[in-house]
Amino acid sequence: MKKFSLLLSFVALLALFVLPVKADDSKIFGDVIMDFYYLGSSHVADPDIEGDYGFWLRRAYFGYETKLTEKVKIRLRFEMASNGDLLDDSKDKIEPYVKDAYLQYSAGKTKLVFGIQSTPAFSNQEKVWGYRPMEKTPLDLHKFAGSRDFGFGAKGKAGDMFHWWVLFANGEGYKAEVYKGKKFCGSLGFGDMKKGFYGEIMGLWVEEGDDKTKDIYQGFLAYQASFGRFGVSASVINKESGDDDYDWTLLSGFFVLNATDKLDFILRYDNLSDPNPKAEDISYLVVSPDAAYSMYLLGASYSFSKKIKFMPSINYITYDDPECSDMEKPDDDMMAKLTLYYKF
């Protein structure tokens, strides 16, 4: 199966070069995120990973898109990444998988999209945040919502200030559909995502099968001007599994200071109200699932050009006392990274 997947990926990449390419209608594009990392402190005692350091390819994207007609566009994009689990010492090779594969029809300010595509959960928030190469947005980072899904989406603008987006999808992300339940996600935004105020409300509902359901509601507000930008978000997550009911509140805020035309300073704070059962699945960080936590992010970004950036950053995670009295409070976690990002 693995060999077949690699062969399929290779054939698909070759196909990019045999499709007709016109300068105005087609493009090959991509971007790469590479890190030198240092784990300064860790709550994990066994194995002893505190002090670990090294290099990894955090993300690499390669894509192709072209217009089939004046109103129809297709996109195929692959993603590759190193194993981001610091507790996994396997030496698996980096393998590509499909990140985007969709057909889009445009009619005025409305776009209809079918295939593997981005979702309304946090895509607009990610654009305003602006530093995905440094860190994911809160719902994505803390494993409550995925960035992609397979389904049918529609988005557009009402006037110049209202943005709307809906998606009906499998709810399995990149995976094949294996149950009757589906996902519905929608967002409504107001303002300009590039300057001034922008606000957005979002709702996500998914039936995960086996009497498992999840719903998420989020509000996001940001402001951008010549000095930089700042934003705050509040998310309420509810998950039901059989007779069990779980609730989380996820709060986040960020501030980006434009010190010069090439240099930005970045501050961010995330707080999760309750222990995260998927904490150990968070890639490129070490997070404990035993207690509620707060994450502090301090970073900077220097632009060598519009397509090359150097971004040092520190993620520092502190924990609340565990709900179980017989459990010890986890030690703080600290991850430092030197990131090189480029795109083409």
Quick one: pLDDT at residue 160? 84
Q: Is the pLDDT of residue 4 over 70?
A: no
Whole-number Å distance between alpha carbons of 113 and 195: 27
Residue 54 lies in a domain: yes
Residue 155 lies in a domain: yes
Residue 3 lies in a domain: no
Q: Is the pLDDT of residue 22 over 60?
A: no
Q: Is the pLDDT of residue 248 over 70?
A: yes
Domain containing 244 equals 27-343
Residue 2 lies in a domain: no
Residue 189 lies in a domain: yes
pTM, to two decimals: 0.91
Coil, strand or helix at 298: strand
Coil, strand or helix at 159: coil
CB-CB contact of 156 with 164 (8 Å): yes
Q: What is the pLDDT of residues 154-171, one digit of tens each?
A: 999 998 899 999 999 998
Query: How many domains would you assign to the chain?
Result: 1
Q: Name the percent of the chain lying above pLDDT 70.
A: 91
CB-CB contact of 269 with 141 (8 Å): no
Q: What CATH number should be reported for the domain holding residue 171? A: 2.40.160.10
Q: If you compute the radius of gyration of the chain from its CA atoms, what whole number of angstroms results? A: 21
In this prediction, residue 8 has a pLDDT band, given cuts at 50, 70 and 90, of very low
From the list 343, 270, 266, the residue with the least C-alpha distance to 311 is 266
Q: Which two tokens stand for residue 207?
A: 């039936």
Quick one: pLDDT at residue 7? 42
Burial of 89 (0-12, 13-18, 19+ CB in 10 A): exposed
Distance (Å) of CA 38 to CA 42, 90, 92, 93, 301: 11, 19, 21, 22, 18
Q: Which two tokens stand for residue 232?
A: 């705050």
137: Cβ–Cβ under 8 A, 6 or more apart, which residues?
122, 125, 126, 129, 252
Quick one: pLDDT at residue 177? 64
Residue 21 lies in a domain: no
Q: Quick one: average pLDDT of 115-127?
A: 96
Q: Quick one: average pLDDT of 217-242?
A: 96
| Residue 23: DSSP 8-state | T
